[in-house]
Amino acid sequence: MRNQKHPQEKEDRQVVNQLLSAKEVGDFELTELGRLLIRYQNFPGAREIQQDLQKLLQNWQLDQEELFSKTRKIHACGSLRAGNIDQEQQDWS
């Protein structure tokens, strides 16, 4: 199987590195992890990012179902903000 390069991999690597170094896990970190898990689910490549996403789940003592349950609640409460970035402006593709 060929290891493809995702078009967003460079930017996503930066986000993953930030998540790996996060001192606290808040709403923004949870939703970013959920977004990236969805993006890379079944993607035939970007193995290092996929491994790091699984490492984050383990470090944060969550499974994917628990994470998605939490992020659905976060999104149901309204617009998520991190700095100047609204969730509506983020790239979810």
Helix (H, G, I), strand (E, B) or coil at 8: coil
pLDDT at site 1: 54
Is residue 46 within 8 Å of residue 5, measured between CB atoms?
yes
- pLDDT per residue over 42-81, tens digit each? 999 999 999 999 999 999 999 999 999 999 999 888 766 6
Rounded distance between C-alpha atoms, residue 16 and residue 53, angstroms:
7
pLDDT band at 88 (very low <50, low <70, confident <90, very high): very low
- The ranges assigned to domains in the chain are 9-89
